[in-house]
Amino acid sequence: MNSLLFGIVQGGTFEDLRKQSAQAIVDLDFNGYAIGGVSVGEPEPEMFKAIEATVPYLPADRPRYAMGLGTPAQLVELVARGIDMFDCVIPTRVARNGSAFTRQGMISLKAGWAKEEFGPIEPGCECFACRRFTRAYLRHLLNVNEILGLRMLSVHNSHMFMKLMADLRAHIAAGTFAEFRREFITTYRPSRKILAARNNAKPTDEAAR
């Protein structure tokens, strides 16, 4: 398998610096192009602006990779802006805090509401955790500090992200991406932290459910 070399575009939230950096990196003719310096504490709208200021200057026939991103809703929105690849610790980091991602948003399985929830983390999910364990049992594992609970949430979150990306590829190929994006963003509920960042406000605690 051949290795690919990516050039990294920087420039913070400054559109002129993003353009200058992208053009200089493209001139070096890399196999693909990464967008760095995003999701480093700036509000989400500023992150999207940085991506939008960069993508037009990157070749459409080379992979475009957003470094360190993102949540499920961000992945959908960034694909709509021309991004092809992502990497982020968020599926496992969120799992270590006792939370799981679903197509409707993030849920905290350590919270009391899950005590008598005897269904899977997400109905319809085919991951190992959803096929074998209930929300209530996973809550028990998390609250007694049993490492299996964290591992199962990591399995689910990783599966959810991979399935989402597979669905995005399928809808792009079928020409139905716009409809999928609209429906996903309409039904997905961001965490309170993301909502606060969008409003440039101090984040509150994560949504319990």
Q: Decide if pLDDT at 201 tops 60.
A: no
- Whether the model clears a pTM of 0.75, i.e. scores above it, the answer is yes
pLDDT single digits (tens) 133-173: 999 999 999 999 999 999 999 999 999 999 999 999 999 99
- DSSP string of 129-175? HHHH--HHHHHHHHHTT-HHHHHHHHHHHHHHHHHHHHHHHHHHHHT
209 confidence band (pLDDT: 50, 70, 90): very low
Sequence ranges of the domains in the chain:
1-88, 99-187
pLDDT score of 200: 53
d(CA 49, CA 31): 24
